[in-house]
Structure 1
Amino acid sequence: MVEIIASIVVFKTKACIINQTIASLLKSEYVIRLFIFDNSPTDKLRNEITEDNRITYLFNNENIGFGRAHNICIKKALHQCKYYIVLNPDVYFDGAIIKKMVELFDSDSEIGLVAPRILYPNGKLQLSCRSLPTPFDIAIRRIPFLRHFFPKRHKFHQFLHTSYDTTLNVPFLLGCFMMIRTNVLKEVGGFDERFFLYMEDLDLCRRINKKYKTLYFPEVNINHLYQRASAKQGYLFIIHLSSMIKYFTKWGWFKDQERKRINSELLRQPS
């Protein structure tokens, strides 16, 4: 049987929210282990999460960030499973989707990562596919009046130039649910720990997409309680800004030829 291990990183997360995620995930017989890595200041959640012998709760007693916490779990699992799932504590779904995602992986050895269609709780589509962003693309997305002046560019960045009903090879998929081939994680490495929070999903997707397909798979859905916290809380915006600076310093601010090539190829994908 295919064996899958997953990890969820939490920080002051309510038990009622994460238990919904846990219940969704553990409905799949493929999931043999789930790490809950708690970055919170107390281990209150330890006694509030669902009890299951597949769950390993890890309390850290300090917030070491999203990517670094997942990496600790990934390193424990690399030699124990065929696929690895990174997911947020605020998603819920039908556990049967995992079987369909495994079948997609098995159909093509060049697939490195698969992400599902993401819906808001009201059933509305969340735009989870992205082109590789320039600093200007991020400014357009975060500053509403700029969208009126550059609507075509904004739509392209959020993949509105094509159909969200089609399986697509996408260089940047939002990281609230990513299923990854374990040997691909071994090859490219886990998350870049320079990113405390934000942009780490973009960085990982980009590194995988250089060698493998990173697929948006709309035949399966998850629901996401998306908050856009960095747009509402000042200190999170500072963290987001810091991560953006690190990302563009790593990959290139304005002279990123790889980004230019990949984004040009996206326009040639079937719509």
Structure 2
Amino acid sequence: MKAIGAPCSDSEGLSVSIVVYHPDIAQLSTTLASFGAACDLLRSVRVGLPVELYLVDNGGLPAMHAALHALHIRGIACTVISGRGNVGYGRGHNLAIERVVSRYHLVLNPDIDLERHALIEALNFLDAHADAGLLTPWIGDNKGHQQFLCRRYPTLLDLFVRGFLPAGPRRLFTRRLARYEMHDLINERDIVWDPPIVSGCFMLFRTDVLKQLAGFDARYFLYFEDYDLSLRAHDVARVVYAPAVRVLHHGGGAARKGSAHIRMFAASAYKFFNRFGWKWL
């Protein structure tokens, strides 16, 4: 584990964890740069706010000296956790979560670009709403179109149609998928309280809530760990969609990543439904 800078003081500040496995270096660098720019704006109004980044290397991370140095000179403490092998997405984040003592913790994907006001808006919202324990933002795609990543509880048919059907046949299920993706409630303007499931690409927690949940369930190697954590979060706090917080997401689905990802998706879906209940159609 390599650390640069000082960690957050007890019960202060913001910590962030990013888990990578053979990352796209250009995209990761862009993500870190956008995070740094958002931190600059955040700390212009919250002078002296401690911020720390944990970059968890599950394998294949080259030296990131320039990108991490750019954060360090901004006063952001950076720690690289490596040498554990590919422990999986949730367990990788847990390596960071178990160390943090911040007030807020952000679970962030390496394919997310933060809008410059994102962190200001997010922390202001949580400061103003003490009952909110997990915040999810407005999420756009590469073209700036909204991605509907809040979810109602899935059925197997929903997952199959959304994840694996080609675009043509998928149109037959447009209304069904719109309901699953909460198109009736999620938009660019309205705050929505308690969406059942939110995306793991950007999950901003009160750290005490995340600690109470013991982080991610490590039984999921990849996929559905965010579904699991979202549903458990409702037991201890409120979950909120706050569209004033804006990010762009450059990720892709399991089917587009090949057969190994399809197998991992299926294995995690089985664990998820076994835990929370099966819904077929």
The correspondence for 2:142, drawn from 106, 116, 121, is 121
- Contact 1:173/1:205 (<8 A) preserved: yes
- Give yes or no for the alignment of 1:102 onto 2:126: no
Rounded to whole Å, the distance in 2 between the matches of 1:96 and 1:228 is: 28
* Among candidates 6, 29, 33, match of residue 19 of structure 1: 29
Q: Which residue of 2 aligns with 1:227?
A: 252
How big is the shift at 1:93?
1.8
Q: Output the CA distance in 2 between the equivalents of 1:134 and 1:34.
A: 36
Give the aligned residue type for 2:239: T
1:193-232 alignment, distance < 5 Å: 193-232=218-257
* Cα displacement (A) at 1:189: 1.7
- Give the Cα–Cα distance (whole angstroms) in 2 for the partners of residues 140 and 18 of structure 1: 30
Task: Please provide the CA RMSD for this pair.
Answer: 2.1
Contact 2:97–2:211 (8 Å) recurs in 1: no
The alignment's TM-score, normalised by the length of structure 2, stands at: 0.83
Which residue of structure 2 lines up, in the alignment, with residue 160 of structure 1? 183
Q: CA deviation at 1:13?
A: 0.9
Question: Could you tell me how far apart the structure 1 residues matched to 2:209 and 2:223 are?
Answer: 22
What residue number does 1:263 align with? none
- Any conservation in 2 of the 1:71–1:190 contact (CA below 8 Å)? yes
Kept in 2, the 8 Å contact 1:25–1:31? The answer is: no
Aligned equivalents of 1:73, 1:148: Cα separation in 2: 41
Select 1:135's aligned residue among 149, 153, 156: 156
Structure 1 unaligned residues grouped into runs of 5+: 256-271
Q: Secondary structure at the match of 1:63?
A: coil
Unaligned runs of 5+ in 2: 1-10, 44-48
Q: After TM superposition, give the deviation of residue 161 of structure 1 in Å.
A: 2.1
Distance 1:223 1:70 in 2: 21
Shift of 1:47: 4.0
Q: Which residue of 2 aligns with 1:7?
A: 17
CA distance in 1, matches of 2:50, 2:156: 38
**Partner Cα distance (2:117, 2:174) in 1:** 37
Residue pair 1:15, 1:49 contacting (<8 A) in 2 also: no
State TM-score, norm by structure 1: 0.86
How do 1:242-257 residues align onto structure 2 when only pairs under 5 Å count?
A: 242-254=267-279
Consecutive aligned runs of 4 or more in structure 1 exceeding 6 Å deviation: none
Q: Number of matched residues?
A: 252
Q: Does 1:71 align with 2:71?
A: no
Asked whether 1:237 is paired with 2:258, we answer no
Q: 1:73-121 deviations in whole A, cap 9, x for unaligned?
A: 00000xx210000001111123431111111111221101111111112
Query: How many angstroms apart in 2 are the aligned matches of 1:16 and 1:231?
Result: 20
Corresponding residue for residue 8 of structure 2: none
1:62 corresponds, among 70, 85, 102, to 85
Give the distance between the partners of 1:56 and 1:9, measured in 2 at CA. 12
Deviation at 1:254, TM superposition (A): 3.5
TM-aligned CA deviation for residue 16 of structure 1: 2.2
Partner of 2:63: 45
Gap change, CA 1:137 and 1:252, over 3 Å in 2: same
- How far did 1:2 drift? 5.0
Task: Work out the CA distance in 2 between the residues paired with 1:14 and 1:154.
Answer: 30
SS in 1 for 2:135: strand
Amino acid corresponding to residue 193 of structure 1 in structure 2: A
